[in-house]
Structure 1
């Protein structure tokens, strides 16, 4: 098999051009120790799409294969995987049915997932994202509690809470801390502000800024002029990031496409600033998609490639007439590129449109890997943005491929 660390760019380009199943074999590492891996999760849903089971596993190569879940580790359903350096965090199920703990894992030399320790959390905590502040301090956002749990990632023991419920909007179930990013010693935390139907309770983009040393909230950051709401997607760490210029970009969910009065979009906080840039208006309801005759509702997941370029899945509810009846199984996830500088969105026509559970996007060397469940196949597709060549469902999975991450040890 072609092991990750032995693949050259030339070999990969040849694979993508020819899409051959007869690639020459290359040996395993001489010492049996892998330095890279692909980590991914899969969801096996019940017929209604609302419930099921989920798994994660790591693989050593990108050769065509089918992976079942016999050697995978069970994780919480409808939750995030978070990678922080060598640490991998899995969350309990949002809807219950799994043990209420956040687990820290690492990969051993053979890329087997090894449980390190676990942090017990309250039932229905809605544990969403982890951000490591230092070797001995990390933040865990808890949607259901309206709090951030501060804990020691080495021992997985709680230190304190940061209670954010005082920032909840009228009509919100609670403040809903979501995805986070650290810049210049401050942690910027998106606030969901969902009502009891998981839609925006108020038309505002809200975040809090926390001092990473003292764990004190220094300010509420808010904007009501851009018409956007629900800052960051709670189970997607890529929904807030710092670019190479030092600007923070934040994906806003609105009403997930269920209410046109609450559109999705993207906002930014410029380098050195602590307020949302009111001059940067990037609303998806105002932005045509080149190659598609309908507009996007929100950014589902993404990979930032630098120079203002996002490879992303956007949800386009109008692509499936049955979207409002059962959004869990609708075919609405469209692969696109998003130019954050020009605010241009372009459909990647070489890739299929998939269902909402298949959201994985990551970069490996010269390719972008996309998880997709569509009308033809389920698995990970390899896309070379230079040649536009695609290898369809190169890695087939049992279950919807919802996350993928290229880990360098």
Structure 2
């Protein structure tokens, strides 16, 4: 059985990320400052976290390209906390850990310096757990720090514009509820829901809420007992992915006797596909966490090496794994030469051009961005970053 919590005097990044997830909100505050006019050719936003909890600093900067071998924080703006990075359009949204829940919006000047473009504050909550951007004026976020809530906000003005009533999906037998992971498709928002009992053990099914955005209400709650624990915190560990056909895949980490696995909701449907289940534990030999989907069924997850240390109190404990969603097969390790990574807090992967994928290796020995060749399957280090943990790597539109 997986050990879900082991607390000591030095919380891991994963436990900090875990603390970001309790959803709640109160009245909002936002900046009245207009967005600055930025005309730079900055194409990438990178953030990393340095220091030890609770004295951590997030460094954020923009780059014109990734044609460099080393990157330090000399050009970075600083935030005095652990922050997750979310990107939409030409802006990034950094959600800091620590009350009150704060979302800082940044664009970048011609030198790659982060320029403040507004702030949204939710008193009474600690952070934003998951965010989904629908348009320039419509976004949704679960907010952490007490009662579980889902707010609607305007990404342009950083004003809260509504709230989705989640009363219908509460469970009296659940001591706590977490909302983690979101993906919008066809006017619906699919949101991961996780219920915990008095002993802080997750219920033994995977749950996803289906929300009708036009009606601004919960349509139904899906449950599937083939796996459990849809519980991926922050922006640097992903568990929801759409393929080229519009099929939605959702990864769950497993719990108790239920294995980690991947479920599917086909295009045009709002229920789990009863004929599809990718048992990751059976396929790879161990439970896995996260899902990154690319072309032709090629996908990646991270395999948990020591099941008793899923939240990495004792150091990096995850390894990248290649899988094929179409064939439901394991393709082996990404590279045996790579070190174990802090996969419970960061396992970022992004498409880079037409023929390669960028991914982050944050371990006890390095903090770097690597590339993977889709055609030739080669792995090479691309950028060595300053010490710390990379929590954001996004291409801007």
| Secondary structure of 2:395's aligned partner | strand
Q: Does 1:275 align with 2:274?
A: no
**Structure 2 counterparts to residues 51-70 of structure 1, below 5 A:** 52-70=56-74
- TM-score, normalised on structure 2? 0.79
Deviation at 1:205, TM superposition (A): 1.4
| Secondary structure of 1:203's aligned partner | coil
Contact 2:288 2:301 in 1 (8 A): no
5+ residue gaps, structure 2, are 1-37
Cα distance, 1:34–1:172 mapped onto 2, change above 3 Å: same
Aligned length: 354
Q: Does 1:247 align with 2:247?
A: yes
Once residues 93 and 190 of structure 2 are traced to their aligned partners in structure 1, the CA distance between those partners, rounded to angstroms, is 20
1:389 match: 378
Superposed CA deviations along residues 107-131 of structure 1, whole A, max 9, x for unmatched, are: 3444332221111113334411222
1:216 match: 217
Q: Does 1:363 align with 2:351?
A: yes
**Structure 2 counterparts to residues 189-338 of structure 1, below 5 A:** 189-195=191-197, 199-200=201-202, 202-224=203-225, 226=226, 228-231=227-230, 233-236=232-235, 238-255=238-255, 260-288=256-284, 295-300=285-290, 302-317=291-306, 323=309, 327-338=312-323
1:348 match: 334
Residue 149 of structure 1 is aligned with which of 138, 148, 151? 151
- TM-score, normalised on structure 1? 0.77
Once residues 175 and 144 of structure 2 are traced to their aligned partners in structure 1, the CA distance between those partners, rounded to angstroms, is 10
Superposed CA deviations along residues 59-118 of structure 1, whole A, max 9, x for unmatched, are: 23323443333432345755532112223211120xx2x653112222344433222111
When structure 1 is superposed on structure 2, of 306-315 and 330-339 the one drifting more is: 306-315
2:187 match: 185
Deviation at 1:203, TM superposition (A): 1.0
Once residues 50 and 343 of structure 1 are traced to their aligned partners in structure 2, the CA distance between those partners, rounded to angstroms, is 41
Which one scores higher on RCO, CA 8 angstroms, separation ≥ 6? 2
Once residues 220 and 84 of structure 1 are traced to their aligned partners in structure 2, the CA distance between those partners, rounded to angstroms, is 28
Contact 2:303 2:321 in 1 (8 A): yes
| Secondary structure of 1:275's aligned partner | coil
Superposed CA deviations along residues 267-305 of structure 1, whole A, max 9, x for unmatched, are: 1111121111122122222213xxxxxx332323x4321
Cα distance, 1:203–1:310 mapped onto 2, change above 3 Å: same
